Amino acid sequence: MSAMAHGLLGGSTARTTWGFRSLSKRVQACRLVTATFITFTSLQHGDLFDSTTAKWKSSLIWTHFTAESARAILSTHIPQTPIKDTFVWRLSPTGELTTKSACRFLTRDNTLHCARIHTSGVWKFLCALQIPPKWKIFIWRLIWNALPLKVNLNTRGIGVDRTCNLCSNHEEMDAHLFRDCPFTATCWFDGQLGLRVELAKATTLRQWANKVNCPSTTMSTPCKISFVHHLTPPPHSPFLIVDGAWKLHKTGKNSAGIGWVLTSTSPHTLKGNVAIYALTPLQAEAQALLSGIQEIIQQEIRDVRVFTDCAALGTIITRSQPGPPEVVSLLQSIRHEISFFTAFQLLAGPRSIVSKAHFIAIAARKRPFSS
C-alpha cells in the first residue's frame, strides 16, 4: 500500500519508515481540506449571486466559506453591465503575473512581503527626498525598528536600563522615542510641519510614517480638475461629495463605510451612507464614488460636479488606467455610469472639502454590518 493510500485510510504508522510516516501524516492532514473540497463540487460560481439584482447571496457565502474568504468575496463588485472575466495576479500592480513578482513571493516571507507592499509608498517618497544618503539609511532603519534602542538591545540580551532618558516614564522604543515622548511631541508640533502626534499613539510608527510621508492618497492642495466628461458643468450645477472610510483593526480585520452628499438648488439635501466590505481604502473610495453617481442618476440629474479627497482615484480615472485588481470592475462600472451625463466633472481636493460625506461614512463604518 502506498503512503498516500495509507494516509487517506488513516491507518497506523507506528511500524513504518520515517519517510513513509512523514508522507502519510501529510496526506492525513489534507483529508479535512479534501473532504471540504469534495462538498463544494456541486456549488457553481453562478450559485453565489443573484443575476437579476447583481448582488451576492451573503447567507450562502457565509455558510460555505471561511470568514476571511467570505469578506473577500463580498467585497468584490458585481458590475451591472457584462464584463469579461480575467485572471488577476494580486502581487503585481498591473494584475499580471511577472517573473519578478513570482520570485519575490516564493523567496520572501509572506507577512514581510505584504508589509512591504503596504509601505512601498514610504520608500518611493524617501528615495525622492533631496537629503544626504545617511539620513535615508537612518529613516529606513527607524521604520524597520533596526536602531540600537534600549528595548531592542535588551531583547538581544544586552543588560541595559529600558527607561527613556528624556522623560524617564516609558521604555525607550521606536514609537515612543521618535513620536510619543512628550519632549518629541513638542518638537513635532513646534517644527515647520506643526504635527499633533497625540492622536497617532494607537498606530505603529511604520503606519504613521506611511500616512505622514505619502500625501498622494489625500491631497492637501486646492482642488484641481481630474476628469471632465463631454462638457464642463455650468457654475450653478449640483455638486456631489463622496468619501470612503476604511479602518484596519488590531485583530487584522477591517471595516469600511461609504457616504455621499448631494447639494443642489432644491431645498432638500440628498445624502446616504452604508457599511460595505472593502479590501483596501481605494476600493472604499471607488465604491463611494459609484454609489453616489448611481444615486444622482436616479434623481435624473445629468450635470454635476463630484468632489473626492482621493487623488489616486482621480488619477486612475483620468488616465484610463485599469487600477489595482480589487477596483477593476468598480472602475469599469464608474466609467459606464459617467457616460449617461451631459456634463460631468470630477475634482480632487483636501479632506475638508468632503467632510460632510466623511463623517457619515465613518458612522456607517461603525455600524454593525447587516449581511
Q: Where are the domains of the chain?
A: 1-42, 119-213, 224-366
Residues 6+ apart with CB under 8 A from 170: 163, 164, 176, 180, 181
- At the topology level of CATH, where does 224-366 sit? Nucleotidyltransferase; domain 5 (3.30.420)
> In which residue are the cell numbers 519508515 written?
17
Rounded-to-integer distance, Cα 164 and Cα 179, Å: 13
DSSP H helices, 301-349, are 311-318, 328-338
Inter-residue contact 256 to 246 (CB < 8 Å): yes
Average pLDDT, consecutive stretches of 10 residues, N- to C-terminus, the chain (371 residues): 60 62 62 44 69 82 83 83 71 74 68 46 73 86 86 88 89 87 80 63 69 43 52 75 90 89 73 91 92 90 87 78 79 87 84 88 83 50
Q: Residue 217: what pLDDT?
A: 37
- 58, β-bridge pairs: none
CA contacts within 13 A on the Cβ side of 117: 16
CA 294 to centroid of chain Cα atoms: 23
Q: Where are the beta strands (DSSP E) in the chain?
A: 49-50, 55-56, 224-230, 239-248, 254-263, 270-276, 303-308, 343-348
* CA-based torsion, 160, 166, 171, 173: positive or negative: negative
**Torsion angle of the four alpha carbons 64, 66, 67, 73, in this order, in degrees rounded to the nearest 10:** -70
Distance (Å) of CA 124 to CA 129, 215, 243: 9, 12, 26
Give 46's DSSP letter.
Answer: G
Q: What are phi and psi of 344, to 5 degrees?
A: -140, 135
**Cell reading at 117:** 507592499
**Cell reading at 246:** 476604511
Rounded-to-integer distance, Cα 230 and Cα 303, Å: 10
Rounded-to-integer distance, Cα 166 and Cα 152, Å: 17
Largest Cα–Cα separation, the chain: 85
